[in-house]
Structure 1
Amino acid sequence: MQYVDLDARVGDLSGVLDPARYLSHLPSISGRLPPGARAFATDTDHYDFRSRRCVKDLTLRAVRGAGGAEMEVEFQHNCWKHDRDLLIRYTGVSGLVADPADGDRGAGLGPVILDEILPHGDGCSHEIACWDGTLTIVCRDLRATWTETTCSGKS
């Protein structure tokens, strides 16, 4: 991550997630993001840890179309925090890197920590940091949609 700090320090506490530097930089780059990426990155709930539309704690469920120009990445909700799943559709995909933390390409990446969307010569780059690795997609644009789900663990 270029701006999101996944290991910030607050007083004596380390390992704090801090998107503040990215959020302060976002107004200066948002005009260079494609429309769908801009809408997703600048959504006020995106980095609000108390929001049901914050990406933190979602779990990567499926990647469809890897290696193609069109791709979908589906994230499953966390019943204690979210009431919807997230589906991101990428168009004009020109790069995809899955980088598991332990090097095991067969393992999942685990829950999402945070993400960062930046302008790129091909449109935008979307880096998604998870507890067990990262997923980075370079594309012409993306469209994020929160979809209905049922939480069996919530009353």
Structure 2
Amino acid sequence: MGNSIVLYGLVLLLSSFSFYKDKQKTQAAFAKAWKIFTNLLPDLLAILLFVGLSLSILSPAQISALLGQDAGFLGIILSLVIGVIALIPSFVVFPLGATLLENGAGLAQVSALMASLMAVGIMTIPLESRLFGKRFAYARNLSALMMCLFFSLLVMEVLG
């Protein structure tokens, strides 16, 4: 909470200074920020709804059973599969990971999920194939998947 107060205070101070220096630029910046926020809001709400529903359907015990430390390698594979299929914006991945950890998921399993959400995209292969070619798209996604698996196994070995 203390960090939030400091950050909000800093934002208020710097915004006031910016407003004092150039009123029009500051207003334009706030207008642009508001437009970006309203464009992101539907995605944010959908993701919050998805996470909220998932957490209301799955108890911490179920999350721990599926993605907990005791789930081991099978939990890592499940996390990788979910991460490869899901299409979640990158700014949501880290809060989602924190929420899963708080509800009993294991570090290796969450790292596999987060890494695969960020690096692998089955849903985006058609676009990637058109831009870079099929061979490159499949090779990139496969190598990213292997690195996610390696990374999560490393996390399980070192931190598990």
Q: Please confirm whether the aligned pair reaches a TM-score higher than 0.5, indicating the same fold.
A: no
Structure ranking higher in strand proportion: 1
**Band of TM-score, shorter chain:** under 0.3
The structure, 1 or 2, with the larger RCO (C-alpha pairs under 8 Å, 6+ apart) is 1
Q: How does the TM-score come out when normalised to structure 2?
A: 0.23
Whose Rg is larger?
2
Q: How does the TM-score come out when normalised to structure 1?
A: 0.24
Structure ranking higher in helix proportion: 2
